[in-house]
Structure 1
Amino acid sequence: QALQEDVAGACAWIHECKTQKLLKHEGDQSWTYTQFNTPWPVTPRDSVLHVTTVKGADGSLTRNLKEEPTYIPEEKGFVRVAKVEGFWKLVPKGDNTEVTYQVHTEPGGSVPAMVANKFVVDAPFNTLKGLRERAEKN
């Protein structure tokens, strides 16, 4: 949970994250801005997410992710990700935490199929791997 709440620091373990910042935090809601690295010839992407945190009676924590592409003006040199829907779910299991990460993204603009397909596989795997490595260090 602490690793996810460190919005700028989380960029170190999120796949192809170039930079990330917290735009606003209000109660159980926050808005984040992220810029992503992309391979040539794809124009770099950015996204604005509305994150709603829900605490379960079982000690679980769910962070629901929803795009808000018009929350801030578009940045020059980036294509704004038009659609993001997903969640992180953290469930305590004794001394461990079960982590589920599910997200559907439509990157917008032109992305060659080979690049898109590689990202679909690499992004969740590398993000979860990075989170685990960081959590085990702490």
Structure 2
Amino acid sequence: MLHHLLFIVLMLFSAPVSATEARWQLVKEKDGILVYTSDSESSALKSIKVTAVMEGTPEKLWAVVQDVNTQKEWVYATKSSKLLKRTSPGELLYYVETEVPWPVSNRDIPIRMKMTQNKADQTLVINTVGLPKAVPVNDGKVRVPHLVARWEVKSVGKDKIKVDYFLDLNPGGAIPAWIANLFVTKGPFETFTNLRELLKK
């Protein structure tokens, strides 16, 4: 989930990120994908919200998002991702490394993901939270100290879903403004563009 230095999005065991907790400003709108930002209390990096209507079902989106070993194919700047542990059909722990342009070091973070589905109203929520101490820090990489993300998915017609994604993250260390801007605007848009194409298959 649009989710890791930025996207991955990325089990919530802390307060959820939601549209009611922030004043969102639209920073990009293209091809039906809307990207918003808001000031974050945990980082100088902006919090992100992405909204789009796509082909697919909540179940199909979950199938894509939980297949963490393939996130490199659609989540922006993902260098590698791998499953560490699946605790239940709707909960797992995985690791992701995000590629950051030189001269900044790559970021990495173990992430816990948890899905909750309500079939009665055809909604699905995926909460993710970074667990920076879950695995040892890798040499040459900067461990992300804070990551919280949330997917809110709802059926809005036959094989149509509305997806709202929220991300609040502190990437750790210093990030030049031009790199931060890539992950705030380009990253979310490209991730959702790739996700939309996957859901069509």
Instruction: Give the alignment's TM-score, normalised by structure 2.
Output: 0.65
Residue identity matched to 1:90: V
Count of aligned positions: 137
Residue identity matched to 1:35: E
1:43 maps to 105
The alpha-carbon deviation at position 111 of structure 1 amounts to 0.9
1:121 maps to 185
d(CA) in 1 for partners of 2:174, 2:71 = 27
Identity %: 34
Paired residues of 1:63 and 1:89 also in contact (CA < 8 A): yes
- Which one has more relative contact order, counting CA pairs under 8 Å at least 6 apart? 2
Q: Could you give the per-residue CA deviations for residues 27-69 of structure 1, whole angstroms, max 9, x where no partner exists?
A: 2321110011111111011111111111124121111011100
Q: How does 1:29-108 map to 2 (within 5 A)?
A: 29-56=91-118, 57-94=120-157, 95-108=159-172
Mark the runs of 5 or more structure 1 residues left unpaired by the alignment. Answer: none
Residue 196 (structure 2) pairs with residue 135 (structure 1): no
d(CA) in 2 for partners of 1:63, 1:9 = 17
Residue identity matched to 1:40: W
d(CA) in 1 for partners of 2:182, 2:97 = 18
1:112 maps to 176
Residue identity matched to 1:46: D
Residue identity matched to 1:98: K
Mark the runs of 5 or more structure 2 residues left unpaired by the alignment. Answer: 1-61
- Report which stretch shifted further, 85-94 or 66-75: 85-94
The alpha-carbon deviation at position 10 of structure 1 amounts to 2.4
The alpha-carbon deviation at position 116 of structure 1 amounts to 1.0
Secondary structure class of the residue paired with 2:173: coil
The alpha-carbon deviation at position 11 of structure 1 amounts to 2.1
- Report which stretch shifted further, 118-127 or 103-112: 118-127
